[in-house]
Structure 1
Amino acid sequence: MKLAETVTFGGGGLDRSAEIRGDDAKLAELFAGPEARILPMWRAKPHLRGEETLALAPVAPGHPILEHATKTAFFLGFHDEEAWFVADVSSWTPEEQDLSTLDSFVDQSEQRYPGAGDDARFAELRQSMTRLSPKDAELAAAARGLLEWHRTHPFCARCGKKSAPAQAGWQRNCPACGAQHFPRTDPVVIMLITHGNSVLMGRSPAWPEGMYSLLAGFIEPGETIEAAVRREVFEEAGVRVGAVNYLASQPWPFPASLMLGCRGAAETDDIQIDPKEIEDARWISREEMLSIMAGEHPSIWGARRGAIARFLLENWLADRLD
């Protein structure tokens, strides 16, 4: 697919420079240097600035907000001459600020650190990803995914003892048994399944009323991408799929997925959903999908902007799945 790397979080040009992750002296020099860019993140929210167009809002070494960092800043890589790091400042407690929607499906709250600048604030990445440049979106995705892995994997999977960050944050080592652990990424297939002029859409019961998207599911051990597409579609909607083609991928750090976008041809249009898997599935014509994407449908709204599901649907409607 010619447009594959234009998907959100893709094609930002980050040079991860893995060869220097074990060089503590070099990293310390970079961290203290004039080209250092330290991105604070609070409860998985990046520090941003701007209004219609957003940008990351890094700080310099010694900034007061870094006093709340729970660990040494982790090295993300280079963009041009800038050395980017991420610091988890989740120990900071915002005072007299709205925290009521933090755990909701759509967190629209923003938290402002005193003295960080009039327009600087922490904001949910899913609500801001489409307003970031490709560079900033890739940096934010890498930062969020890396910090979430450390947050959820503090113990050794082999012996259960506490492990410690290593390799500039891209590894955890167990001092008890010597095991090494690396950031987790879960492969997920997401499928544009078509039958004639229609596409198969479904919804989870946990989603807001009226929200539909493409079917998706995790790849199982020993399974190919193509087999996972056919299995997941049949499990969820009872639809048999024939030919399957890979289209594009998207890092999705919510918390740690790699979305593998595929196209599949349905062999039948009969739907039999598994209510344990999804709440509903239906075939939607191109004409109806145009109404949904324009926000004009009376009862259905589609995949969120920035998600690979919407990317695939938009290119399907434009006949650009090549």
Structure 2
Amino acid sequence: MIGFTGNPLDRADALRHDAAALAAATVDWRARLLRLDGLMPGTTDDGRLAWTSMADLPDGAEPVLLGLDDGRPCFAAAIPGLRTDTAPAMRSPALMAALAALAPGEAAIYAAARSVLHWHARHGHCANCGTPTALFRAGWGRRCPHCHAEHFPRVDPVVIMIAENDGRALIGRGKGWPAGRYSALAGFLEPGESIEEAVAREVAEETGVRVGGVRYVASQPWPFPHAQLMLACIAEAEDDAITLDTNELEDAIWVPRAIVAQVLAGGEGPFVPPPPYAIAYTLLNAWVGEG
């Protein structure tokens, strides 16, 4: 299963629109509150997500409905003043260890909670008139009391791709990454751009390599630092000369399929692969399988 997918909760859209039913859900004796330390997941001794009761909802916090677990309401707390600039970075060893231990479905619940809470923390004022906004739709929207504009959590699309040439994959290394780590290239889609155009542009900008045919592989929600949707693709390179954009990457290399397979299997090689919960790992495996 691709990391951060397979959320087992029923998102219960009808409940988001029913104020009375939502109020009843918050006082349901079965209701659970996701335990978080800021935006860091709280976990049990066996690495599962930690939950507590709604009695532990912090003062001043508002409940955000994550969904229903076989009818049991599950919430997260939107805390006013939550600092997102001190949230653990993706390369935090503690966060990476916690994510590696979570079951796929639980990682998906955490990703959804983190993304929506991060959005609330950074979008407390109306983008139209600047007035402080209030939660509605069970925490999946904010409404302005002044101009009545409604705002909803944003998801930013990102293309993530490898270019292939003569049985080799082009992978890159970002600045400040863990020692030896290489991964697929990635970049945000720009307005008025297709997925295929974004793939070609990003590969060319970061490495100078021109690509032609682009094929889609899979997608993944990615909650770091905020809600993104990773669109994984494989592109056919028209040349293999690398002209590195050092503002974006520290290095980029071509790696033969057999060596990629060897590294993914735990063997030695010229790079350390991305973690299994990252779609770059899935993408490399898919490319190896094509061979």
Alignment TM-score > 0.5, same fold: yes
Equivalent position amino acid for 2:203 in 1: V
Which of 73, 91, 115 aligns to 1:145? It is 115
Q: 2-side partners of 1:103 and 1:138: how far apart?
A: 18
Q: CA deviation at 1:23?
A: 1.8
**CA RMSD in angstroms, aligned pairs only:** 2.3
1:83 equivalent in alignment to 2:73: yes
Equivalence for 1:62: 55
Change (3 A) 1:139 1:103: closer
1:134 equivalent in alignment to 2:104: yes
Q: CA deviation at 1:208?
A: 2.6
1:106 equivalent in alignment to 2:91: yes
Which of 25, 30, 36 aligns to 2:25? It is 30
Equivalence for 2:39: 44
Equivalence for 1:278: 249
Q: 2-side partners of 1:104 and 1:151: how far apart?
A: 16
Question: What SS is found at the alignment partner of 2:25?
Answer: helix
Q: CA deviation at 1:283?
A: 0.4
Question: Structure 2: any 5+ residue segments left out of the alignment?
Answer: none
Equivalent position amino acid for 1:80 in 2: D
Equivalence for 2:237: 266
Question: What SS is found at the alignment partner of 1:50?
Answer: coil
1:205 equivalent in alignment to 2:200: no
Question: What SS is found at the alignment partner of 1:318?
Answer: helix
Q: 2-side partners of 1:232 and 1:69: how far apart?
A: 45
Equivalent position amino acid for 2:76 in 1: V
Equivalent position amino acid for 2:252 in 1: A
Query: How many residues in Structure 1 have an aligned counterpart in Structure 2?
Result: 287
Equivalent position amino acid for 1:281 in 2: A
Q: CA deviation at 1:295?
A: 4.7
Q: CA deviation at 1:105?
A: 5.5
Q: CA deviation at 1:69?
A: 5.0
TM-score of the aligned structures, taking structure 1 as reference length = 0.82
Q: CA deviation at 1:276?
A: 1.9
Q: 2-side partners of 1:238 and 1:106: how far apart?
A: 27
Q: CA deviation at 1:292?
A: 3.0
% same residue: 42
Residues 41, 88 of structure 1: 8 Å contact kept = no
Question: What SS is found at the alignment partner of 2:182?
Answer: coil
Equivalent position amino acid for 2:35 in 1: P
Deviations 1:234-262 (A, max 9, x none): 11111111111111100001111100111
1:290 equivalent in alignment to 2:247: no
Question: What SS is found at the alignment partner of 1:33?
Answer: coil
Q: 1-side partners of 2:223 and 2:90: how far apart?
A: 15
Equivalent position amino acid for 2:125 in 1: F
Q: 2-side partners of 1:69 and 1:305: how far apart?
A: 38
TM-score of the aligned structures, taking structure 2 as reference length = 0.90
Equivalent position amino acid for 1:86 in 2: A
Q: CA deviation at 1:299?
A: 5.4
Question: What SS is found at the alignment partner of 1:62?
Answer: helix
Q: 1-side partners of 2:166 and 2:55: how far apart?
A: 60
Equivalent position amino acid for 1:201 in 2: I
Change (3 A) 1:128 1:90: farther
1:74 equivalent in alignment to 2:67: no
Residues 42, 89 of structure 1: 8 Å contact kept = no
Residues 55, 133 of structure 1: 8 Å contact kept = yes
Q: 1-side partners of 2:270 and 2:210: how far apart?
A: 27
Change (3 A) 1:318 1:70: farther
Q: 2-side partners of 1:71 and 1:130: how far apart?
A: 29
1:10 equivalent in alignment to 2:8: no
Equivalent position amino acid for 2:41 in 1: P
Q: CA deviation at 1:290?
A: 3.2
